[in-house]
Amino acid sequence: MSAQNLGQNASPLRLGIAGLGTVGTGTVKIIQKHAELLGLRAGRPITITAVSARDRMKNRDVDLSSYAWEDDARALALREDVDIFVELIGGEEGIAREAVLAALKSGKDVVTANKALLAIHGQELAGLAETNGRVLRFEAAVAGGIPVIKAMTESMAGNEIRRVMGVMNGTCNYILTRMESAGLPYETVFEEARQLGYLEADPTLDVGGIDASHKLAILAAIAFGTRPSFDAVEIEGIERVSIDDIRRAADMGYRIKLLGVAQMTGRGLEQRMSPCLVPADSPLGQLQGGTNMVVIEGDSVGQIVLRGAGAGEGPTASAVISDVVEIARGVRIPSFGQPAARLSVPQPARTAVPAAYYIRLQLTDKPGALAKVAAVLGDSGISIDRMRQYGHSGHEGIAPVLIVTHKTTPEAIDHAIEALPRTGVIAGEPVELRIEEV
Ligand code: HSE
């Protein structure tokens, strides 16, 4: 068969799509809009046999009339006229997991956007796929349209990965950048985000850092050949980030981002998701609105920066289609870049990598107050790099003070933060944020 007519004459690859929300309908739309192009690129036509969702009557702004309908995704997963089961339901348990298991057991390849499912059951599912000679692909699960899974499993296959990090929740980045640009408090912007429909049904998934941590756990597994271990991610969300800190950090040349970082150290695997300061002029510092960015460092290639839309109909469906086309082309890559059975159980390790820290204090304005603060930092082995005291606006006798430390350990910072209130010269709780080298 010549290269020119491959797309027309080869047997079609038949999809069953479960879940017709934003990503599901977006996937159907791309297949309808680009049928010919996809056939040429894939080497065979890509068709949809059947679809499934909770509510058949819902208006989805897409023509589904030529596809069979299944009320139950598990029945869709078992259909003989489906080659790839496309799971776009979501959730780490329940129907999504059962349907994926059913599809893999019945000999189908699976494409999914389900980050929670993979972060928690990824090793089991990848193992089942590989035992059954099937593939399980999930480009859409991490950072929406950004091709980070393929970058890591394919393009960077020759590298030992040193570190992977990124901003992987667009809603949090929208909230943080909007707080800065409009000078609004967290609660107001959170409400705006809700009105705009940016928040997940359970907003804690976004602002609590859970969604981004699912994604980090998946990337860490690929990067370090370990089982996805979401439970071991140290997670802090953005709920406590104040407009004061955003302003003060900006004064010092930084922006606050919900940053995920994973790296393998001699003590084990560090995975953390927390608000961090990054230089305002760095690629991560420049990231605005709902955009995502993933930074991967390999021993041979150096640093790779990927930036793009981390959510939304078109970008996420684009990633789903990329997996479908890859399977249609006959490319069969282990889910996590190496056999699932060989993924090791990681030893979780708390971050010990030294970093500079930002500390914000409300200092009572009396003689020797600053000296007491400096003494606590000195006793904790912390050296001050920069310091700034602001005027006594609002609160009588209280002066906001900002300190940027030289590099120090998390343990030293914990020690200092615990000791500072005992000086008797601090009002309220000190705030401390890590400054990440990016
Ligand atoms: N809620 C996510 C975000 C998109 O805001 O990036 C899906 O993971």
Q: Ligand 1 center to residue 106 CA distance, Å? A: 31
> Closest ligand 1 atom, CA of 311?
4
Residues of the chain with CATH 3.30.360.10: 148-310
Q: Which of 8, 7, 46 is nearest to 27 (CA)?
A: 46
Which CATH number is correct for 3-112, 3.30.710.10, 3.90.1300.10, 3.40.50.720, 4.10.80.400? Answer: 3.40.50.720
Distance 301 CA to ligand 1 centre (A): 29
Residues whose CB falls within 8 Å of the CB of residue 20, separated by 6 or more in sequence, listed in order: 28, 51, 52, 53, 58, 60, 64, 88
Closest atom of ligand 1 to 174 CA is 5
The predicted pLDDT at position 37 comes to: 97
Supply 20's token pair: 């017709």
- pLDDT score at 8: 56
Residue to probe by mutation, ligand 1, list 117, 169, 320, most atoms within 8 Å of CB: 169
Q: Counting atoms of ligand 1 from 1, which one is nearest the CA of 169?
A: 6
Binding residues for NADPH: 115
Q: Domain 148-310: state its class.
A: alpha beta
Distance 143 CA to ligand 1 centre (A): 8
To the query of whether residue 407 is one of the catalytic residues in this protein, the response is: no
Query: 17 C-alpha to center of ligand 1: Å?
Result: 21
Taking the alpha carbons of 246, 247, 249, 255 in that order, is the dihedral positive or negative? positive
Task: Give the global pTM.
Answer: 0.94
Average pLDDT over residues 240-244: 95
- Residue range 356-435 forms a domain whose CATH class is alpha beta
Nearest C-alpha to atom 2 of ligand 1 is from which residue?
A: 169
Q: Is the pLDDT of residue 1 over 50?
A: no
Best of 206, 294, 307, 320 for a ligand 1 pocket test (most atoms within 8 Å of beta carbon)? 206
Cα separation, 363 vs 366, in Å, equals 9
Least confident of 149-153, 170-174, 311-315, 395-399: 395-399
Spatial strand order in the sheet of 13-18: 68-70, 46-52, 13-18, 84-87, 109-112, 136-137
Residue nearest to atom 7 of ligand 1 (CA): 311
Atom 4 (ligand 1) nearest CA: 311
Query: Does residue 396 register a pLDDT over 80?
Result: no
Ranges of CATH 3.30.70.260 domains, the chain: 356-435
Whole-number pLDDT of residue 351: 86
> Of 215, 257, 372, 407, which one is the catalytic site residue?
215
Mutate to test the pocket of ligand 1, among 171, 190, 259, 294 (most ligand atoms within 8 A of CB): 171
Local confidence band at 309 (pLDDT 50, 70, 90 cut-offs): very high
Query: Which of 178, 190, 200 to mutate to test ligand 1, by most ligand atoms within 8 A of the CB atom?
Result: 200
235 C-alpha to center of ligand 1: Å?
16
Query: How do residues 378-395 score in pLDDT, each as one tens digit?
Result: 999 999 999 998 876 666
Q: What percent of the chain has pLDDT over 70?
A: 97
Residue 390 pLDDT: 86
Q: Cα(128) to centroid of ligand 1, in Å?
A: 27
pLDDT above 60: residue 83: yes
Residues making up the annotated binding site are 18-25, 115, 200
Using pLDDT thresholds of 50, 70 and 90, give the confidence band for residue 58: very high
291 C-alpha vs ligand 1 centroid, how far in Å? 10
Where, residue-wise, is CATH 3.40.50.720 in the chain?
Answer: 3-112
Judge whether 227 and 122 are in contact, CB under 8 Å. yes
CB of 357 closer than 8 Å to CB of 416: no
Please state the three-class secondary structure of the chain as a single string. Answer: CCHHHHHHHCCCEEEEEECCCHHHHHHHHHHHHCHHHHHHHHCCCEEEEEEECCCCCCCCCCCCCCCEEECCHHHHHHCCCCCEEEECCCCCCHHHHHHHHHHHHCCCEEEECCHHHHHHHHHHHHHHHHHCCCCEECHHHCCCCCCHHHHHHHHCCCCCEEEEEEECCHHHHHHHHHHHHHCCCHHHHHHHHHHCCCCCCCCHHHHCCHHHHHHHHHHHHHHHCECCCHHHCEECCCCCCCHHHHHHHHHCCEEEEEEEEEEEECCEEEEEEEEEEEECCCCCCCCCCCEEEEEEEECCCEEEEEEEECCCHHHHHHHHHHHHHHHHCCCCCCCCCCCHHHCECCCECCCCCCEEEEEEEEEECCCCHHHHHHHHHHHCCCCEEEEEECCCCCCCCEEEEEEEECCECHHHHHHHHHHHHHHCCEEEEEEEEEECCC
pLDDT at 402: 95
Closest to 219 (Cα-Cα) out of 266, 269, 268:
269
Mean pLDDT taken over the chain: 95
Q: What is the pLDDT of residue 365?
A: 81
Looking at residue 214, its pLDDT comes to 98
Taking residues 187-204, what's their average pLDDT? 94
Give the residue ranges of the annotated binding site for NADP(+).
Answer: 18-25
d(CA 363, CA 373): 9
Tell whether the model's pLDDT for residue 366 goes beyond 90: no
- pLDDT of 397 > 90? The answer is no
Using CB distances shorter than 6 Å, the residues near ligand 1 are 169-171, 200, 206, 211, 310-311
**Nearest-atom index, ligand 1, CA of 199:** 1
